[in-house]
């Protein structure tokens, strides 16, 4: 083998979504696009809101010179100031432009955050089921992700979390609304998490940073949003992007906000800026920084996602699936009716419905289905979801 053995192993571990994607292409070629119901990907088909399109045109037509040059690695100061203003009210903490770093999507933000924080061998706690990229991102920067199981309703198991913290724990990553479960952490959970991390940081004489990876923040169906971590815990970094809330994942735009009083805050921010540079992002795209400055108040049509969530939840529970009702994002994470979800997915695939096995998210025995697709795809998948369930149950 010429390429890294480690990367080969990682590619195998991360291959579930790609395998389903390839299976989808094969099935579509064989049976026709309209007869295959691919619920495997989290790539929203929603178009960006009109206000975003107008802001793109305005930014592109701006005749001022120098609009496409290099800039400070943190991003344009006026854009960071606008974001800091918008965020200060939410966090109930005054943030300034120097607390914000513009990034190439949440993925870019997580990478610069982990590179900034981790020394070799440091541990980063993630909650299972998890977004599998966390493992690779931690490894990118010499660290190691440590998975902690959640409770059956996917809420945080604080005893399990406390037991997993060691002197090597540098950070905890949370994601709410969650991919793959759709659960939304409550204020009470965030306050309990903050208290536990504070106690553990004091006990160990060093900070445990809380990183919120929240690209689904605004795709919330009801109830109170999860508080911004900056509101409840000083040693916090809040990472978000506009991939989902403005439906522009291809444009790679988001930001990291750092609590102004977090441990070593000046170095944390300086490290993020340096890592933006040396990881090769250099800076977030100039045009899209201009765009998002204008549309911080805009969100995709959340009602459309809520409608699909409601339809799927009522159908999945009528059929008999054991599933937690998601409060946000655009995923369901039902229990497989067969213990080995791979066997069940084989039955589903034969009915031309594609989903992702739970083991891809550290939770065998489950599967993930996305509903960021047109109604026709979701409605078309329902007969297959029902027939596969009956077939699995009746042997
Ligand atoms: C939980 C989670 N974090 C991060 C990302 C990466 O988002 P972005 O496109 O902003 O890099 C995704 C994308 O699906 C995600 O689901």
Q: How far is CA 47 from CA 247, 290, 299, 375, in A?
A: 6, 19, 11, 15
Measured distance CA(83)–CA(95) in Å, rounded? 9
- Is the Cβ atom of 106 under 6 angstroms away from ligand 1? yes
Regarding the beta carbon of 131 and ligand 1, being less than 6 Å apart is answered yes
Q: State whether residue 390 is helix, strand or coil.
A: helix
> Confidence class of residue 23 from pLDDT cuts 50, 70 and 90?
confident
As a whole number, mean pLDDT of residues 308-336 equals: 98
Q: Please determine, for residue 169, whether its predicted confidence score (pLDDT) is greater than 80.
A: yes
107: Cβ below 6 Å to ligand 1?
A: yes
User: Does any ligand 1 atom lie closer than 6 A to the CB of residue 249?
Assistant: yes
Q: Which atom of ligand 1 is nearest to the CA of 104?
A: 11
Instruction: Provide the angle, in degrees to the nearest 10, between the axes of the packed helices 302-319 and 375-394.
Output: 20
Q: What is the phi/psi pair of residue 112, to 5°?
A: -70, -35
Decide the pairing of beta strands 169-174 and 144-149: unpaired
Over residues 52-64, mean pLDDT: 97
- More confident site: 43 or 39: 39
CA-109 nearest atom, ligand 1: 11
Q: Which of 40, 43, 106, 182 to mutate to test the pocket of ligand 1 (most atoms within 8 A of CB)?
A: 106
User: Residue 18 above 90 pLDDT?
Assistant: no
Closest CA relative to residue 135, chosen from 7, 17, 306, 48:
7
Which residue, 288, 353, 270, is CA-closest to 103? 288
Nearest atom in ligand 1 to 249's CA: 9
pLDDT in tens, 129-163: 999 999 999 999 999 999 999 999 999 999 999 99
What does the pLDDT average to over 290-302?
96
Q: In the prediction, which pLDDT does 4 show?
A: 92
Per-residue model confidence as pLDDT tens digits over 355-380: 999 999 999 999 999 999 999 999 99
The strand pair at 123-128 and 37-38 is best described as: unpaired
Determine the length of the chain: 395
Return d(Cα 249, Cα 108) in angstroms, integer: 12
**Which residues are bridge partners to 38 per DSSP?**
354
Contact status, residue 105 vs residue 243, Cβ threshold 8 Å = yes
Q: Per DSSP, what are the bridge partners of residue 367?
A: 357
Tokens coding 210: 């809380």
Output 272 or 18, whichever has higher pLDDT.
Answer: 272
Pairing verdict, β 209-213 and 169-174: parallel
What is the chain's mean pLDDT, rounded?
A: 95
Q: How many CB atoms lie within 10 A of CB 317?
A: 13
Look at residue 15 in the predicted model and tell me its pLDDT.
76
Domains by residue range for the chain, with CATH: 5-48+300-394 (3.90.1150.10), 69-294 (3.40.640.10)
Q: What is the pLDDT of residue 14?
A: 78
Assess whether pLDDT exceeds 80 at residue 58. yes
pLDDT(17) > 90: no
213 band by pLDDT with thresholds 50, 70 and 90: very high
Residue 73 pLDDT > 90, yes or no?
yes
In the predicted structure, residue 16 carries a pLDDT above the cut 80: no
CA of 204 to the centre of ligand 1 (A): 31
* Higher pLDDT, residue 41 or 132: 132
pLDDT of 327 > 90? The answer is yes
Compute the distance from residue 109 Cα to the ligand 1 centre, in Å: 10
Under 8 Å CB-to-CB from 378, ≥6 apart: which residues? 37, 39, 308, 311, 312, 371
Question: Under a CB-based contact definition with an 8 Å cutoff, are residues 377 and 30 in contact?
Answer: no
| pLDDT confidence tier of residue 44, bands split at 50, 70 and 90 | confident
Question: Which of 248, 192, 188 lies closest to 215, judged by CA?
Answer: 248
Phi, psi of 124 (to 5 degrees): -125, 120
% of the chain with per-residue pLDDT over 70: 100
Atom of ligand 1 nearest to the CA of 178: 1
Residue 106 Cα to ligand 1 midpoint, Å, equals 6
Instruction: Kindly indicate the confidence band of residue 95, based on its pLDDT and cuts at 50, 70 and 90.
Output: very high
């Amino acid at each position: 083998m010429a390429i890294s053995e480690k990367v080969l192993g990682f590619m195998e571990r991360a291959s579930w979504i790609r395998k389903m994607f390839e299976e989808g292409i094969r099935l579509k070629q064989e049976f026709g696009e309209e007869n295959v119901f691919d619920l495997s990907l989290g790539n929203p088909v929603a178009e960006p809101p009109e206000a975003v399109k107008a802001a793109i045109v305005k930014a592109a037509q701006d005749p001022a010179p120098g609009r496409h040059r290099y800039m400070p690695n943190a991003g344009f100061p006026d854009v960071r100031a606008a974001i800091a203003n918008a965020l200060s009210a939410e966090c109930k903490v005054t943030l300034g432009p120097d607390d914000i770093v513009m990034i190439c999507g949440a993925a870019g933000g997580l990478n610069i955050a982990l590179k900034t924080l981790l020394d070799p061998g440091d541990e980063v706690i993630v909650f299972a089921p998890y977004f599998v990229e966390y493992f690779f991102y931690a490894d990118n920067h010499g660290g190691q992700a440590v998975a902690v199981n959640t409770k059956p309703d996917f809420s945080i198991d604080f005893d399990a979390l406390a037991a997993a913290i060691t002197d090597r724990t540098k950070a905890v990553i949370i994601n709410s609304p969650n991919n793959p479960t759709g659960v939304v952490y409550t204020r009470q959970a965030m306050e309990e998490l903050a208290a536990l991390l504070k106690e553990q940081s004091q006990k160990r004489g060093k900070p445990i940073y809380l990183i919120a990876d929240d690209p689904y923040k605004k795709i919330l169906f009801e109830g109170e949003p999860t508080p911004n971590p900056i509101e409840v815990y000083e040693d916090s970094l809040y990472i978000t992007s506009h991939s989902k809330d403005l439906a522009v994942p291809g444009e790679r735009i988001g930001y990291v906000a750092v609590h102004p009083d977090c441990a070593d805050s000046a170095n944390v921010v300086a490290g993020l800026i340096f890592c933006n540079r040396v990881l090769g992002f250099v800076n977030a795209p100039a045009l899209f920084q201009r765009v998002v400055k204008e549309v911080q108040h805009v969100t995709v049509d959340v009602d459309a996602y809520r409608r699909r969530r409601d339809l799927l939840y009522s159908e999945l529970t009528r059929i008999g699936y054991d599933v937690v009702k998601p409060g946000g994002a655009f995923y369901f994470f039902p229990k497989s009716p067969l213990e080995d979800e791979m066997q069940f997915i084989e039955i589903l695939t034969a009915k031309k419905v594609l989903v992702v096995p739970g083991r891809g998210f550290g939770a065998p025995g489950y599967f993930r289905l996305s509903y960021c697709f047109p109604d026709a795809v979701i409605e078309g998948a329902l007969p297959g979801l029902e027939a596969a369930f009956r077939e699995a149950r009746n042997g």
